[in-house]
Amino acid sequence: MILLAFAVMTLALPLAASADPLEVKVGVLRIEHSRETISIVDIPPADDFIAGAKMAMADNNTTGKFLDQSFTVEDIKLAPDDDPIAAARTLLDKGVRYLIADLPADALLKVADAAKDEGALVFNAGAPDDSLREQDCRANVIHTAPSRSMLADGLAQYLIWKQWKKWFLVVGSHPEDVALGEAYERSAKKFGAKIVEKRVFEDTGGGRRSDSGVVQTQRQMPVFTQNAPAYDVLVAADENEVFAGYLPYRTWDPRPVVGSGGLRPTSWDPSHEMWGAVQLQNRFQRMFHRSMNARDNQAWVAMRMIGDAVNRAKTADVKAVRALMLSPDFQVAGFKGVALTLRPWNLQLRQPILLTDGRGTVSVSPQEGFLHQVSELDTLGFDQPETKCKLD
């Protein structure tokens, strides 16, 4: 049976378009993420992020073999002190015109501006900063990662639907946590929730692993959450994994935890299986022997967008590809129940936000009843009328 399949394959493979073969080189720039995660299951694997791009490359090449197009990926992993611009230049000098990046906001902007000089397109598949989509937006940066405001709004809509309107907001002490906390405050205002108290959890340093067990955590978390005004739900803003993962089941009052711990808003989770997602998860598991995390997925989406646009535009020309991606007919199949499209005013990918406890998808926002004149996906994050983005 296998032999037969092989014989047939040689017969079936060619028949590509008569045009010249098209080779599309894609560069991946990624920083190493901290291994200091609260749960060991969240420790970033060595092929974090790039695995998603590689699987999409395989997907693109399967389609490409029918169209005489091929896609390659060149991966540069940056240590914290490495220069992202030098790395970007290395790729640009090799003729790479599509970059998929998992970089902090400041590094991403520098790379984007270097890429602009070469007419290259950058996919921000990592940074959630709203500033990158608003005042610091760039015409050559497409965002497949959801912004903090999209994530916060996705969670907020569900909390409103649940009638959990009184929030106890706990924010970490890092700048990213502060920004995420602000996103939750904005969501509360936007959808009519009330923040009954905002409390800061100071990061006093220290590792996450310990042989002494959970004794201290079990005592610290109840005390930390003591004496809050009456609330329905604790919303934690902790991007640096300092405390949020310790909160569920340990709050002083018996209340659910959401945000960075407990029920989390995200672009993707290994437990997501609806809308055919199980096929994507299975393929990923087979290729990389681990499950697909949100960063992998955001890189996968970026690489699939490149593949799909090049397939349809029949050219790798950046201008043509970008124009196609911006058209309303360019719809990305992302296994989230609806087509994903780009917001033309800031190049953010519209997408549903999954709400997950890590064991399954609890709900998916936008929630029923949150209406919008253009797309209900635009009820998530900053909308066109309020955008500060000016694309040149």
Under the rule (CB under 8 A), what is the footprint of another protein? 1, 4-5, 8-9, 11-13, 15, 59, 62-63, 66-67, 276, 279, 282-283, 286, 304, 308, 311-312, 329, 331-333, 337-339, 375-377
Residue 147 gets which letter from DSSP? P
CA separation (Å) from 376 to 134, 188, 191, 343? Answer: 20, 18, 14, 12
Residue closer to another protein, measured from CB, 63 or 173: 63
* Residue placing its CB nearer to another protein in the complex, 252 or 370: 370
- 79: tokens are 């240590």
Pick 253 or 317: Cβ nearer another protein: 317
Q: Phi first, then psi: give them for residue 201, nearest 5 degrees.
A: -100, 110
Count Cβ atoms below 10 Å from residue 97 Cβ, excluding itself. Answer: 20
The residue (of 5 and 230) whose beta carbon lies closer to another protein is: 5
Question: For residues 318 and 339, which CB has a smaller minimum distance to another protein in the complex?
Answer: 339
DSSP 168: E
* Least CB distance to another protein at residue 73 (A): 17
Measure Cα distances from 187 to 169, 236, 259 in Å. Answer: 12, 14, 12
- C-beta separation of 349 from 340 below 8 A: yes
Q: Tell me whether residue 58 or residue 196 sits nearer to another protein (CB atom).
A: 58
Smallest distance, another protein to C-beta of residue 51, A = 16
Shortest CB 277 distance to another protein, Å: 11
Nearest residue (CB) to another protein, 313 versus 391:
313
Q: Is 328 left (phi over 0), alpha (psi -120 to 50) or beta?
A: alpha
C-beta closer to another protein: residue 140 or 379: 379
Shortest distance (Å) from residue 323 CB to another protein: 18
Taking the C-alpha atoms of residue 161 and residue 35, their distance in angstroms, rounded to an integer, is 35
Q: How far is the CB of 108 from another protein (least distance, A)?
A: 28
CA–CA separation, 220 and 245 (whole Å): 13
For residue 135, give both structure tokens: 């005042």
- CA-to-CA distance for 182 and 203, rounded, in angstroms? 18
Q: How many helices and strands, by DSSP H and E, does the chain display?
A: 10, 16
How many Å apart are CA 117 and CA 94, to the nearest integer?
15
Can you read off the two tokens belonging to residue 304? 């699939």
Q: Please, what is the minimum distance in Å from the beta carbon of residue 14 to another protein?
A: 9
When the beta carbons of 41 and 323 are compared against another protein, the nearer one is: 323
Closest approach, Cβ 341 to another protein, in A, equals 9
> Minimum Å distance from CB 363 to another protein?
15
Q: How far is the CB of 63 from another protein (least distance, A)?
A: 4
Task: Give the shortest CB-286-to-another protein separation in angstroms.
Answer: 8
Q: Compare residues 175 and 337 and give the one whose CB is closer to another protein.
A: 337
Can you tell me whether residue 294 is helix, strand or coil? helix
Q: At what angle do helices 294-313 and 50-67 cross, to 10 degrees?
A: 20
Give the distance from CA 209 to its chain's centroid.
26
Q: Cis check for the bond before 128: say yes or no (omega within 30 of 0).
A: no
| Cα torsion angle, 245, 45, 50, 280, sign | negative
Do residues 147 and 129 touch, judged by C-beta distance below 8 A?
Answer: yes
